[in-house]
Amino acid sequence: MYFSTATLLSQVSEIAQQLRLLTQVDVQQHWQAFNRMQPIAVNERGHIAWAGGKEILKLRQKIIVPTELRGYPLTGLSLRLVLSWWAEAAQIYINHQFVQAGDLFDSYTRILLSSSVQPGDEFEVELQLVSPGHDRGALVSAFCWYEVSDSSEIDPVLMADQLEILGIILAPEPHLPNLEPSLISLEEILTIISAYILPQDLTEFENSLLQLRQTLDSIIPQLPSYQINLLGHAHLDLAWLWPITETWIAAQKTFESVLQLQTDFPELIFCHSSPILYEWIEQHRPDLFIQIQNNVQQGIWEIAAGLWVEPELNIINGESIVRQVLYGQRYVLEKMGQLSTVAWLPDTFGFCWQLPQIFQQGGIDYFITQKLRWNDTTKFPYGLFQWQGLDGTKIISFMTALIGERVEPVKMFKAAVEWKTQTGLNQSLWLPGVGDHGGGPTRDMLEITRRWNQSAIFPGFKFQTVTDYLKEVLNHPPATLPLWKDELYLEFHRGCYTTHADQKRFNRQAETLLYEAELFASIATLVAGCVYPQTEIETAWKQVLFNQFHDILPGSAINSVYQQANQDWETAITKANNILQQSFDAIAHSIPLPPPPQANAQPILIFNSLNWSRSEVVAVPIPNSDIPWEIYDTQGIAQPSQVRGEKSENPQLLFLVKNVPSVGYQVYWLGRKQAETLETSSEIPYMSAPIPHYTESIAEKNQFVNSYQLEPEKISFDNGILRVIVDTETGNLEQVFDIINQRNIFKPGQGNQLQAFQDSGQYWDGWNIDPNYQQYPLTSPQLESIKWIEQGPIVWRLRIIKRFNQSEFCQDYILEQDSPLLKIETTVDWQERHILIKAAFPLTLAADTASYEIPCGVIQRSTNPQTEPEKAKWEVPAIHWADISTSDYGISLLNDSKYGYDAQSDQLRLTLLRGSTWPDPEADLGWHQFSYAVYPHAGDWKPAKTVQKGYEFNRPLRVKVYPDQVSVGSSLETQSYLKTTGKMPVPQSFLELGSEQLILIAFKQSETQPQQWILRCYESQGEETILKFNNSLGLTIDYAVNLLEQPHETTTSISPWKIASFALSCMKENC
């Protein structure tokens, strides 16, 4: 007899569908408008759709139980009403009694109407649905599902599931000669069943089902085996389409539900992340917390909580990621008695290349996500693989099944077969549980699991922790795991580098201030005997870490989330700044100063938080500009200076500070000017309205300024390093000329061109930039005025004001004495919707790759993409800078709070602003302040020290001016005055690392040993170096530590891209 697998599979599918029709009936067509008898239209997708914008739809229908469906009797069967919807809120009433509510996330239910129906039973069903604010609503499906309650009897739907699963398993196995006789028998039985799925002899039909089951019993052991493991899960966004306060309630309800279900279903194993949620439960529901601890000890509650929250991991800096791990792991170790070996990050929008190293140093063995399944261009090739980080560290990485799934055997086996095809593994992991807004596994899911395990012919489902699952499959891997050596770039949600620019700016400010606060608080403790404010610093850090959650910092939450987040940002920033200022005061009081150059001169302390010597223009506040002021060095020599804001309420004196040492200070004096005359600069008006039109006289030669009127439509000025030429018709940079290297860097007239594009039509509006935005260019912002604000000799500032629709751009082109940077300080009143603005810099050089700073590292990405994955990276993240260089020359584009870039071989662009309207209709409306800078240089980014320039641009020198007598705040527990005697060197360095390749990212008190200090740095050039630690604090290196501050193999040789931490002790008596 000729046998065809394809024919059998077709027959299997057809019979399975016929079997389902015996106990399942679609009732979607029978809904009526509430209080009206007319039916509701069903669209071509089978949905009942209605208008968006939180519109209410009320539906009703009466369900009457028939005697039979297609000849199959229904008496005694249970009946469930199965509904799914897309609605912001759903309320379900049965016989006028409220039975269940749902929302966008809890959007499916199987409501038990009767455990044993009789023909003629009636059920009145009423629905009230509220459409989403951003989208049309839909009742997606509605059907009645009759089930056989006795597990000893054959349920047609269960048999249909098993037939479909058989087809799924057979489909990729076309040649199974040993199975052919059994499959022929199966085909014959299916033919018999097909004849009986009609209102005929029920006994014969049931006998045929029994024969089918017996045949399947003989076939299944010969099939490729599959084991599907289950792990209950409840993805809970800390904030998204609901306020933060609602998250705590959702967490409480979720954990209560899971704990009750674990009592009723002891086989249930549940997994959850985010120590911050456990901390809240501990503080507000200690009874629940104790139960969770007990279940953790029993092994039925897995703590997958290696990070404090599930954060954004492209645009936070390296130390922020370290703190996510440090605080997360310390909490679970203290409260649960174990470290979490899992980084559970199912929903984060991409993963930077340094994560393998950070995770491994934080006691994490496994990295888990499913987000790359969302890619819009390519399919990520691996399910289980080793991810090799930038420094060479490897971590086992697991691409799980999708989260928020139900227990649906057919779907689960289909995923298992795909998993085996991809990985060679016959063991898969499924994550049942309502998610996003919490929820977790439902009673119905667990009942379906039990029913399957009791009745199914195929192997049953087994609950298992993800850690045990991975250990099990890795004990017998099918082959060498594939290796991934790159970032894990999400080909989706590219707008999250830019949306809600206020969050990006807050984040950058907070990261900077917390680094500096810890650094100088540590120094103040060591040199002035202050009490280290560890609790205050940890509290501020945790506020920042919370706001780095993957739906807050990326800009993808509702408006009320940002109202709360902004308060928390400001609280953390204020706290860090207070600690920093108090630390400066304490340190200042411990510094013996040289004699002042004149009576009543005020000491100026300039603090450098970076671990290399630097020179920079600073601004010193002066009491008033009516009195001529002068800056003097410690030898009493007057320094060149320039008044800023002569007639303003807050005048300043600008001057160039030279050679402030590594993590140290320099001292100057503010005194009366000895001469009779004082050159002043123009007042700085804020962006004014109306804005005066520019005139051709604005660039007249000034005796202090290297500025020239070239022709009516051009302005030129220089600082001896760069010459800037501005086109007065457009306000763009006509040219920037590198005087030192004698090179033009821009294509004529196109530097800093503000390019606008229509950016609309994306469902995930706040998340996604339109992939085709470049096909929809808009008219660029138009110039309204140009005027000089400052004209040297320290700072040159030319103000350009442009208008775009209802928005206004104020940009200052700034050159500073001895600086190789052209800074562009920007203030925007942004009023646009669905518009994307980029600053474009077409270059006079070209390269095949561009370099971008990532957390604690640098990555090269193609500017001439050839492969589909390369083409998908048309908008990419960076921290402080991006750079295009050849071997002999390059240009870096720095920023102080922007993260989205794109590059071509001869162009860099920085994304400035977007105008999304969902989920926050007010996203980015209003005022923005940010800066970026152009840095042309010889060689590539390494010899040009672009890494250092990026840090300097973001962490300027700190200036403190003291009157004759100053007291220190009581919180530092010291009272003293600045001394003008003594022999401490001025300037002074507190810490030096001895290598230009090393970047200091933390100096803090140990978490567990108050007399020990932790120093952390990373190698920034991709080349091995040596730590040559030197300090004036009396510290010595005890040993190296990992990121959890546990002893580690000690070496001062630091390999490329290595993040290295050391425990230090003070040997001085007063430590």
pLDDT in tens, 540-583: 999 999 999 999 999 999 999 999 999 999 999 999 999 999 99
Comparison of pLDDT for 170 and 719, the residue scoring more = 719
| Strand partners of residue 382 | none
pLDDT of residue 206: 84
Q: Are 781 and 803 in contact (CB under 8 A)?
A: yes
Whole-Å CA distances, 698 to 720, 735, 785, 827: 21, 18, 10, 21
pLDDT of residue 682: 38
Residue type, 87: A
- Of 526, 632, 604, nearest to 978 (Cα)? 604
Q: Within a 10 A sphere around the Cβ of 421, how many other Cβ atoms? A: 10
Give Cβ neighbours of residue 932 (< 8 Å, ≥ 6 apart): 823, 824, 826, 839, 893, 894, 895, 896, 898, 910
Cα end-to-end distance, the chain, whole Å: 92
Single residue among 536, 566, 591 that ends a domain in this structure: 591
Single residue among 84, 118, 147 that ends a domain in this structure: 147
**Are residues 271 and 419 located together in one domain of the fold?**
yes
| Strand partners of residue 1012 | 1065
User: Can you tell me the distance from the alpha carbon of 1051 to that of 597, in angstroms, rounded to the nearest whole number?
Assistant: 47
E-strand ranges in 887-964 read 889-895, 900-904, 907-913, 926-938, 958-961
User: Can you tell me the distance from the alpha carbon of 924 to that of 134, in angstroms, rounded to the nearest whole number?
Assistant: 18
Residue type, 758: Q
In a domain, 248, yes or no: yes
In a domain, 16, yes or no: no
Per-residue pLDDT band at 966 (split at 50, 70, 90): very low
- Of 431, 411, 421, 433, nearest to 383 (Cα)? 421
| pLDDT at 511 > cutoff 90 | yes
pLDDT of residue 588: 95
The CATH number of residue 88's host domain is 2.60.120.260
**Are residues 655 and 732 located together in one domain of the fold?**
no
> What is 775-808 written as a DSSP string?
GSEEPPPEEEEEEEEEE-SSEEEEEEEEEETTEE
Q: Are 778 and 770 in contact (CB under 8 A)?
A: no
In a domain, 388, yes or no: yes
pLDDT of residue 670: 96
pLDDT of residue 552: 98
pLDDT of residue 204: 82
**Are residues 288 and 382 located together in one domain of the fold?**
yes
Encoded tokens for 135: 């989208």
Per-residue pLDDT band at 241 (split at 50, 70, 90): very high
| pLDDT at 197 > cutoff 70 | no
Cα-trace Rg, the chain? 34
- Sheet with 722-727: strands ordered across: 706-711, 714-718, 722-727, 733-738, 743-744
> Please, which contacts does 442-448 make with residues 24 or more away whose CB atoms are closer than 8 Å?
443/261, 443/264, 444/109, 444/110, 445/406, 445/407, 446/261, 446/264, 446/265, 446/268, 446/407, 448/407
Query: What average pLDDT score do residues 185-198 get?
Result: 77
Three-class HEC string of 691-703: CCCCCCCCCCCCC
E-strand ranges in 760-906 read 777-778, 782-791, 795-804, 807-816, 822-830, 835-842, 849-854, 857-862, 876-877, 881-885, 889-895, 900-904
- The pLDDT tens digits for 999-1037 are 999 999 999 999 999 999 999 999 999 999 999 999 999
Whole-Å CA distances, 969 to 285, 958, 975: 38, 19, 8
| pLDDT at 975 > cutoff 50 | no
**Are residues 422 and 282 located together in one domain of the fold?**
yes
User: Can you tell me the distance from the alpha carbon of 376 to that of 284, in angstroms, rounded to the nearest whole number?
Assistant: 42
Share of the chain above pLDDT 90, in %: 82
E strand or H helix at 999, and its extent?
strand 998-1005
Q: Parallel, antiparallel, or unpaired: how do β-strands 366-369 and 394-399 relate?
A: parallel
User: Can you tell me the distance from the alpha carbon of 1008 to that of 328, in angstroms, rounded to the nearest whole number?
Assistant: 15
Residue 212 CA, distance from chain mean position: 52
| pLDDT at 459 > cutoff 50 | yes
Residue with tokens 């309320």: 91
In a domain, 169, yes or no: no
Domain total in the chain:
6
**Are residues 478 and 545 located together in one domain of the fold?**
no
pLDDT of residue 980: 42
Per-residue pLDDT band at 676 (split at 50, 70, 90): very low
Alpha-helix runs per DSSP H in 529-649: 534-547, 559-589
**Are residues 484 and 632 located together in one domain of the fold?**
no
Whole-Å CA distances, 712 to 447, 696, 708, 729, 999: 82, 6, 11, 9, 47
Q: Are 20 and 164 in contact (CB under 8 A)?
A: no
pLDDT of residue 677: 40
Single residue among 591, 619, 641 that ends a domain in this structure: 591
- Of 731, 613, 716, nearest to 664 (Cα)? 613
> Cis omega before residue 865 (within 30°)?
no
Per-residue pLDDT band at 478 (split at 50, 70, 90): confident
| pLDDT at 78 > cutoff 80 | yes
Share of the chain above pLDDT 70, in %: 93
**Are residues 364 and 335 located together in one domain of the fold?**
yes
The CATH number of residue 622's host domain is 2.60.40.1180
**Are residues 540 and 614 located together in one domain of the fold?**
no
- The pLDDT tens digits for 111-132 are 999 999 999 999 999 999 999 9
User: Can you tell me the distance from the alpha carbon of 292 to that of 289, in angstroms, rounded to the nearest whole number?
Assistant: 5
| pLDDT at 489 > cutoff 70 | yes
Whole-Å CA distances, 522 to 476, 515, 988: 49, 11, 16
- Of 902, 910, 925, nearest to 835 (Cα)? 925
User: Can you tell me the distance from the alpha carbon of 409 to that of 482, in angstroms, rounded to the nearest whole number?
Assistant: 29
Q: Are 916 and 973 in contact (CB under 8 A)?
A: no
The CATH number of residue 1018's host domain is 2.60.40.2220
Q: Are 58 and 127 in contact (CB under 8 A)?
A: yes
The CATH number of residue 430's host domain is 3.20.110.10
Whole-Å CA distances, 939 to 467, 481, 718, 946, 1023: 48, 39, 22, 11, 17
Its domain, for residue 245, covers 227-488
Q: Classify residue 308 by its DSSP letter.
A: S
Residue type, 962: Y
User: For residue 985, how many C-alpha atoms fall within 13 Å in the half-sphere facing its CB?
Assistant: 9
Per-residue pLDDT band at 476 (split at 50, 70, 90): confident
| pLDDT at 982 > cutoff 70 | no
Q: Are 148 and 77 in contact (CB under 8 A)?
A: yes
The CATH number of residue 552's host domain is 1.20.1270.50
Query: What average pLDDT score do residues 239-243 get?
Result: 96
**Are residues 716 and 811 located together in one domain of the fold?**
yes
Q: What is the mean pLDDT of the chain?
A: 92
Query: What average pLDDT score do residues 877-892 get?
Result: 98
**Are residues 565 and 663 located together in one domain of the fold?**
no
Counted residue by residue, the chain has a size of 1071
| pLDDT at 384 > cutoff 50 | yes
Query: What average pLDDT score do residues 222-243 get?
Result: 95
Q: What's the whole-model pTM score?
A: 0.94
pLDDT of residue 150: 86
pLDDT of residue 1071: 61
**Are residues 994 and 901 located together in one domain of the fold?**
no
In a domain, 312, yes or no: yes
Comparison of pLDDT for 382 and 976, the residue scoring more = 382
Per-residue pLDDT band at 1068 (split at 50, 70, 90): low
User: Can you tell me the distance from the alpha carbon of 964 to that of 94, in angstroms, rounded to the nearest whole number?
Assistant: 80
Q: Are 727 and 734 in contact (CB under 8 A)?
A: yes
Comparison of pLDDT for 132 and 34, the residue scoring more = 132
- The pLDDT tens digits for 869-878 are 999 999 999 9
User: Can you tell me the distance from the alpha carbon of 655 to that of 677, in angstroms, rounded to the nearest whole number?
Assistant: 18
Residue 237 CA, distance from chain mean position: 12
> What is 662-728 written as a DSSP string?
TTEEEEEEEEE-SSS----------S-SSPPPP-TTTT---TT-EEEEEETTEEEEE-SSEEEEEET
**911-934 burial string, b = 16+ CB within 10 Å, else e?**
bbbbbbebbbeebbbeebebbbbb
pLDDT of residue 200: 64
The CATH number of residue 770's host domain is 2.70.98.30
Per-residue pLDDT band at 691 (split at 50, 70, 90): very low
In a domain, 620, yes or no: yes
User: Can you tell me the distance from the alpha carbon of 923 to that of 882, in angstroms, rounded to the nearest whole number?
Assistant: 26
Query: What average pLDDT score do residues 985-993 get?
Result: 90
| pLDDT at 698 > cutoff 50 | no
**Are residues 674 and 586 located together in one domain of the fold?**
no
- The pLDDT tens digits for 728-774 are 999 999 999 999 999 999 999 999 999 999 999 999 999 999 999 99
| pLDDT at 309 > cutoff 60 | yes
User: Can you tell me the distance from the alpha carbon of 554 to that of 900, in angstroms, rounded to the nearest whole number?
Assistant: 11
In a domain, 853, yes or no: no
